[in-house]
Each structure stands twice: as C-alpha cells, then as structure tokens.
C-alpha cells in the first residue's frame, strides 16, 4: 500500500515540527521542508516513524521550490497534503523596517505559499483530492502595531487562501486556513522576553486543533479556524 504524502514547510521548529509529528502518527510519509538541515534533522528525532524525508529549500525561490517538488513526485509520489507553514517576521515601526526585511516577509510568507501551492494543484486537480493548509496567523485578520509589513504579507496570504477556496469550490480539494495567535516558538526569540513569552500558546496544542479541524470528513468542511491566546 502506497503511503499518503504530507509536505510541511517551515518544519524545522515550532508549529511545523508539531504538525509533522501529527501527520507521522497518522501514517503519512512526511516531507520536512526548511532552510536549515540541522533543524529539520532535529524534528525527525521526535517523529514516531522513520518514514520521512528532508529537503532544504528557500520557499521564496520558485526555482528551488520546483526542484524540490519534482524530487518528491519522482521519488515518493504525488502530494496528498501541503501545509504552507514557513514564515518570518521582523517587527518594528513601519519607517524603521529595512528593505531586506520587507522583501523577506513578502517573499517567504506570501510568495512562498503561492509557489508551493502552484506545485501541487495540477496533480490534486487530476486526482480530484488533496488538502492545502495555509497557516496564516491572526496577523491576517487585524492590523497590529510594529507589524505593518508582517500583517501585509499575511493579509496577502489570506487573500490567496480565500481566492483559492473559490477557485476550487467545484472540486473535492480541501483548502483550510488557520489564523492563530502567538506560540512559544523560536519565532519570538530576541523579540519577547521571558515574561511576555509565558502567555503564548503551546505549538502542540495549536497543531492538535489544526490537524483535527483540517481532516477530511464526509459531508463536512471546515475552511478556517481562529485560535487566540487567552
């Protein structure tokens, strides 16, 4: 029996690593994508199975993304679940953000989501099945101080997600969006101090909610979920 394949971007830490565990436990061959091989290797140590693959990739590069997805299809088969989780944030007043920071957030958060999704759509349409999970953040729902460009990238991601829902509504492809608040992950290292970090959500809890809500069920569809801190 051919195993189903789940591809998770930003799988080196935090929510991506937690979601990788969920899909591994559910019997998927998990493809871990990220920029740093050492972090991806670290994630594999917590997986319940040896049935996984690692691919280093910069999701903001269309060429790199295409190469990785070609390898996955060639060596493992077509993708059943894509989790667009890779993201980066630089937080400061709008006028203080560097050009590099602006490019980085738009390129990884928005373009990365688009490029990865483009790679799976043809096969999912051909099979008329599959799931695309867009990990957006509550920054895609409301503007926030010192998060102007981060929010802009996430609003863009939300626009892509909602348009994709409409584009695929006549198919059996499941498109799911997660809008969650801050979690206790490396994302906030150097940004929040210890006291600020104590109120953040556990990525395992958020992964659990996303995984169960994104599951395909008969005559039922959850197209988005909002998960907020107390």
Q: Token match 């210890």: residue?
A: 194
Strands 224-227 and 174-180: parallel
Residues 6+ apart with CB under 8 A from 37: 54, 56
Query: Within 13 Å of residue 167, how many CA atoms lie on the same side as its CB?
Result: 13
State the greatest distance between any 2 C-alpha atoms of the chain, in Å, as a whole number.
55
Backbone angles phi, psi at 181, to 5 degrees: -80, -165
Closest among 76, 195, 174, 77 to 125, alpha carbons compared:
174
- The span from the CA of 118 to the CA of 4, in Å, is 19
Q: Is 155 among the residues known to form the active site?
A: no
Pick the catalytic residue from 23, 150, 155, 179.
150
What is the set of active-site residues? Answer: 150
């Amino acid at each position: 029996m051919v195993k189903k394949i789940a591809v998770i971007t930003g799988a080196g830490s935090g929510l991506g690593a937690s979601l990788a565990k969920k899909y591994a436990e559910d019997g998927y061959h998990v493809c871990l994508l990220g920029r740093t091989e050492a972090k991806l290797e670290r994630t594999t140590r917590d997986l319940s199975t040896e049935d996984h693959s690692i691919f280093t990739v910069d999701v903001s590069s269309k060429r790199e993304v295409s190469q990785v997805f070609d390898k996955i299809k060639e060596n493992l088969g077509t993708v059943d679940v894509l989790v667009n989780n890779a993201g980066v944030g630089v937080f400061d007043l709008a006028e203080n953000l560097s050009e590099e920071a602006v490019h980085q957030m738009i390129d990884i958060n928005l373009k990365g989501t688009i490029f990865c999704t483009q790679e799976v759509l043809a096969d999912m349409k051909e099979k008329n099945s599959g799931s695309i999970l867009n990990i957006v953040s509550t920054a895609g729902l409301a503007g926030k101080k010192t998060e102007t460009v981060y929010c802009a990238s996430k609003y863009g991601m939300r626009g892509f997600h909602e348009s994709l829902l409409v584009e695929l509504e006549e198919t059996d492809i499941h498109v799911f969006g997660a809008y969650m608040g801050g979690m206790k992950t490396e994302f906030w290292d150097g940004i929040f101090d210890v006291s600020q970090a104590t109120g953040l959500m556990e990525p395992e809890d958020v992964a659990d909610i996303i995984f169960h809500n994104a599951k395909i069920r008969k005559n039922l569809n959850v197209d988005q979920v909002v998960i907020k801190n107390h």
